[in-house]
Amino acid sequence: MRQGVRLGVDVGSVRIGVARSDPGGILASPLETVRSGKGDLDRLAELVSEHEAVEVVVGLPTSLSGREGPAAASARRFAGMLAGRLATGTVRLYDERLTTVTAESGLRAGGVHGQARRKVVDQAAAAVLLQAALDGERLTGRPPGEIVRGSA
C-alpha cells in the first residue's frame, strides 16, 4: 500500500463533498463540503496543499450497468480542470456507484436527519468513495481508477 494522505471528492452540481485518509491510506473520514462554482477548484487545491495530499480520488458517477451519462462527463471535465492545477498524476477517477445512497443510509442509521444530514451527506459520500478506493488498492496492490490528465 502506498503511503500518504489521499483526498476523496464527490462532485455535485451544488456541493462538492471532500474526505481525507490517514497517512497510511487505511481509513477515510469526512472533511469538508465545498460549494460548487466560483472558487471551488481553488479551495480543493488549498486542501491538497494543507493536507499534503499525494492523490485526489474524484468520483465517476456511472449507471449500475457501467454506462457513463451527463453526470460522468461533468465529473470528467471537473477532474481534468483540477488535474490542470495539481502535479501530474495526482488526480484519479474512480467508480462511485451508490456512494450517496450508502452515505444517506449510514447517516440515517446513525440518527442524522433532515437539514443536519443534508449538510454532511456530500462529505459522507466522499468518504464512502475514498474508502472504496483505498480498500480496492489494498486488495489488488494497484492504485485505484484511472489517472486524469490536466485540461485548461
What is the tens place of the pLDDT at every residue in 76-114? 999 999 999 999 999 999 998 655 556 566 656 777 666
- Indicate if the pLDDT at residue 117 is higher than 60: no
Mean pLDDT computed over 58-75: 87
The model's pTM is 0.87
- CATH architecture classification, 6-147: 2-Layer Sandwich (3.30)
* Confidence bin at 38 (pLDDT 50/70/90): very high
- Indicate if the pLDDT at residue 116 is higher than 60: no
At residue 1, the pLDDT reads: 79
Starting at the edge strand found earlier in the chain, the sheet holding 15-21 runs 28-35, 15-21, 6-11, 55-60, 91-95, 146-147
Mean pLDDT computed over 9-24: 95
Mean pLDDT computed over 16-43: 97
- Indicate if the pLDDT at residue 37 is higher than 80: yes
